[in-house]
Structures are given as C-alpha cells and as structure tokens.
Amino acid sequence: MLIRSAEERDFVFNLLVTLALAFSVATNPYFISPSIGVYLLPYPFLLLFVVTYCDWRAVLRYVEPIDWLAVGFVAVTTFAVIVHPNRKSTTYIALYSYSAIFMAVLLRNAIGLWGARRFLQDMNLLGVMMISALAGFEFCWRSLAGRSPISFLPLANPPLSICGYSIPRVYAFSVEPTYLAWYFTTLGTLAIWHLWRMPYFTQSTKYTASAIFVFANIVTWSISGLACLVIAGGAILFYMAIFDRSTLASYLSFSPEIIKRGAVVAVFAITPLLGLAKDMPSCLDYAGLKVFRTFSDITAQQRLAEMEAHLAQTRVELTKATPTGKTAIYAVQESLLNSIEQLDTTNPKAGMSRFQIWKHDLSLAFQKPLLGWGPGYNSSIGSDSSLNIFLFIFMEQGIIAAALFLMFMLSIAWRMLRSGSPSRYVYLLAYGAGSLHLLTQTKHFHAHLWLVVGLFWMDYVKQIRSQIEQRQDSSQHQHLHPISSSEYQR
C-alpha cells in the first residue's frame, strides 16, 4: 500500500485505531489457539504502519518523565525473570511490555499525534452501541433458547454463566461478564458522554441508546463494574468540592436535568427485566452471596457440594417445567456441569473466595518481597491468578515492580487531573473506574483502559502544541518591540 500524503496516512492510522477500539472487547473469540484472542489482531498492523509510514521518532519525542516508571517496571520484571525463571516467563515479559510500553506509552503517543478526535469518539460510540445491542440480544436469546447467539465461533470460554438459578449473564464477545462490564465502565463511559454532546441526535435517540447501554450493563450482573464507577465518581466529586468548586457548581446547575434524564433511562432499562420478577430474588441473592463470599472462607469441597445440590434441584424442577421452561433449565444444568468440571481440586486456589486468594498470595509475597517468585509463577504451577493486579505483581515480581506500576498508574491519573482539558473529569472517571477494576482481576493486557488513555492524550498533545505556539508567538513579539530614538540614531 502506497501512502501519498499526510491526509492518507492519518486516515489509515485512524482506521486501524478504530479496529483496535472495536476489537478491544473481543477477548473470547480466538484464532490459531485460545491464548491468541481476536482483540490482539489490530496491533501488529498498527505497529507496522507507524514504523513504515509515520514519523516514529515523534512518538519517542513525546515520551513523558512519568513513562520512565513504566520502563523501570519492565526492567525490574525482566530482572525478576533472570533470578526466578519458569516456563511461562517469556510470555509474561511479552505481556507486561505490551501493556506498559507499547499500549500505555507508544500507542498512546501515536494516537495523541495523529488521532482524529471527533472521528475516534464517533467510532467508539458506534462500537459501544453495537456491543450493547449484541449483549441485549444475547440475554433474550439465552433466556428463550438457552444458547448464546455467537456459540458457533471459536471461543476460549463458553458463555454459560448464570445469575441465581436461571438468569443469564451476558458475555457479548468478552471472555467473562466482568470483563464486558470493564469495557462498559471505560470506553462505554466515554461513549455515552459523547452521545449526549452530539447535537444532531434527537432526544428520543439519545434516551433509547442510553437505555440499551444501561440494560446491557445490568445483565452482566457484575457488581464490581457499578462499584468502581461509584467509587471513582465519588472521589472526583470530593476533589472538586475542595479544589475546583467553580466546575462543581457548573455541574450542579445541570443536576436536575441529569437526574431527570437518568430516571427516564433507568425506567426504560429496567422495564424489560420485570418479566423475570419471579427469578430476580434468586439472582439478587446470588449477587449478594458473591459480595459476601469475597470476604468469607470456603473450601473447594463446600463449593462443589453447593453446585451439586443446585444441580439436583434443577432435576426436580425439570419434571414440572413447560417445554419452554425446560430449555432454560437445560442451559442452567449445562452451566453447572461446566463449573463442576472446571473445579480442579488439585489447584491450590480451587474454590477459594477472593479473600482467601488474597491472603494466600500475600503470604507468598512476603516470603520473597524483593523480586517475588518470578513472572508466570502462578501459571507455571497450574494455580489461579491473585484476582488483584497489584497483589499479583507484588507476589510474582516483588515490591519494587508493584510500586513502579502503581506509581505509573497514579501518574497518568494526576496528568489527567492537572490537564487543562475541559473533558478531563470524564476521562478521569473512565480511567479511575477502569483502574479500580484491576483490584478485582489481572487482565492488564486487555486494551480498554489503555485506549481511554490514548483518547485523552489527543487533548493533552493538543494542549502541549498550543502552549508551544503561544511561547513562540510571545518570543516573536519580544523581538518586534518598538525602536527607541537613540537606537534609531545608532
């Protein structure tokens, strides 16, 4: 392909970034092997295109001082591999380099330099709405037919999870419902904010699209997604109340309108769930039990006994069910049998609650606090992750690597907070909620969070360029000062 002009270069670059935005949620479909998800597909082409047709040196010129924290993190991780190697070390070094260097620094700078802000925001909105519609369709299809509409694709994890006894948890193209909620929390937040700023959409279109988005969020049945948004939003409001009262006052002036819009959207989003009223108590019990189980002690044998009792209950219900009801029960049984099959009692963390896993890994971390047990240690022994990225890094790479990674994440948040972008609080909400999500999982290489940073960086680079131009203009005015009579005589 021959790129003849800067306009063509920018167009192709933004097209590739659009593919990255669209594919970022596609963590379940794969090609070649389950470990190579479709979401990785755009990035080799992006890297090749930037090196071939763009000024890649400009990407390096926009490296920030805070980015050396990411470089230091990867360096310490590499040293931990040298000290404690295992059969997964190479994979983990590649993943951490991909997240901390390529996504969080290099691609971020490239998007900041050549990204078309309005175009990418429009494409992100389109992608989020398509995924929201797919999630809603999946929920209805699985409720009626007991199967996911995308089950014909090669999937790393079959979409079988349920809430309570019969209500499906949607996956769309994500590997888990909680990762779909993570997508909605990050890129979805930016999409809905952009939707309500677009003047050429009617109010009814905005309400309908927002209701579909909220409905898709609800039927992931992910408590962490909502909790992370609430915590991040509360922290931002607290900061504004102390340090930025003028902006807070302008937001509060619109609060009655925001509350009215939110109430209308909530009614539209919740109404379709009223048909499931009889099953909702068990779903809410399940959701509450998940929160309780986070901080409780339970063995793999107890978890297995609970699932087998649940399976026996479905067999009793099957004898009384209608033909339509039997289809839903069969789907529940398939989900339970899949969970029982995957519950490996030889796994040291099988059946553990989050609290138990955190205690287990924290005790391991303090045994080797400096460089950890080596990147990939958990995976190499067949154990589950820590379900907390910061604890996971502390345990496998040591406290220095964990501190560098945490400082890098906080530095990005601080850069957003202190920027002059009028949209900084929206970006900070999406980034903050996405970062908090990492307290409950370890998939740092999923692109949602880093693409939020890249979209923000377009505003940030524009601000830097504006400051440089202002300095150049002021220096030129200084050289063009009026000449005095004595200077004229000389």
Return the DSSP state at 158: -
CA distances from 470 to 418, 460, 466, 473, 474 (A): 19, 15, 6, 5, 6
Work out the pLDDT band at 386, boundaries 50, 70, 90: confident
Report if residue 13 sits inside a domain.
no
| Ranges 310-314, 405-409, 477-481: which has the least confidence | 477-481
Least confident window among 101-110, 237-246, 380-389, 440-449? 380-389
Confidence label for 481 from pLDDT (cuts 50, 70 and 90): very low
| Nearest Cα residue to 378 out of 401, 351, 349, 417 | 349
Beta bridge partners of 30: 37
Residue 251 falls within a domain, yes or no? Answer: yes
Alpha-carbon span 26 to 172, nearest angstrom:
8
CB 449 within 8 A of CB 434: yes
pTM for this entry: 0.85
Whether 105 is covered by a domain: the verdict is: yes
Enclosing domain of residue 80: 65-156+185-217+228-279+352-465
Asked if residue 287 is part of any domain, the answer here is no
Asked whether residue 93 is domain-assigned, the answer is yes
pLDDT band at 484 (very low <50, low <70, confident <90, very high): very low
Is residue 273 domain-resident?
yes
The number of domains in the chain is 1
Our measurement of the distance from residue 153's CA atom to the centroid of its chain's CA atoms, rounded to an integer in Å, reads 23
Average pLDDT, the chain: 83
Determine which helix (DSSP H) or strand (DSSP E) holds 98, and give its type and residue range.
none
Q: Tokens 């059946």 belong to which residue?
A: 351
Is 166 inside a domain boundary?
A: no
Q: Between residues 110 and 350, which one has the greater pLDDT?
A: 110
Any domain includes 470: no
d(CA 89, CA 335): 33
